[in-house]
Amino acid sequence: MLRRHHDRIWSICRRLAGNDADAADATQEALIAIATRLDRFDGRSRFTTWLHRVATNACLDELRRRGRRPVPVEEIHPRTTVDPAEARIADRLDIDAALAQLPEEFRVAVVLRDLCDLDYAAIAEALDLPPGTVRSRIARGRAALAELLGNPEAPDERQNR
């Protein structure tokens, strides 16, 4: 049963952790937690909502236990041409780096909404927060991401052009 949810859990943990090593550990912890605490699922919410909550909490616990490890920086050699696939990978790495700089409360909400495609009600239920708080955290997280990624304009200003 857990095999079919592994990729979803990995995706959440990877984006929240910001690196494969911490994500792998958090995914393992989440799967163990789901297996050992399945009796605590009371059916008041969808199973996937509960699964997201367990995965998110396992990842955040893992990060708190280990602290943020410094990531080694490799020497970058300039290239004359850019492969489109490499550009997509670079964009994804930039997004991961920007996500890692967000405060935890914003990062969790943005990842669950924009990467896991949960609706606001499911996120509110998974995080045990009011829907208005979820909306605020997502909006503030997206604004902070835009700033970190070099696009400081508000979404309304971009749409009016």
Q: What is the pLDDT of residue 77?
A: 52
Average model confidence (pLDDT) for the chain? 82
Size of the chain in residues: 161
Give the whole-angstrom CA distance, residue 62 versus residue 38.
20
Q: pLDDT digit string (tens) for 121-142?
A: 999 988 889 999 999 999 999 9
Q: pLDDT digit string (tens) for 44-79?
A: 888 888 888 899 988 888 878 876 555 445 555 555
Instruction: Enumerate the H helices of the chain as residue ranges.
Output: 6-17, 20-36, 47-66, 84-101, 104-110, 120-127, 131-148, 155-159
Q: How confident is the model at residue 158 (pLDDT cuts 50, 70, 90)?
A: very low
150 has a pLDDT exceeding 60: yes
Q: Which of 31-40, 89-98, 148-157 has the lowest mean pLDDT?
A: 148-157
Q: What is the pLDDT of residue 159?
A: 47
The one-letter amino acid code at 73 reads V
Q: How confident is the model at residue 117 (pLDDT cuts 50, 70, 90)?
A: confident
106 has a pLDDT exceeding 80: yes
Q: Return all residues near 54 (Cβ < 8 A) that are at least 6 apart.
A: 30, 33, 34, 37
Say if residues 12 and 52 touch (Cβ distance below 8 Å): yes
Q: What is the pLDDT of residue 160?
A: 47
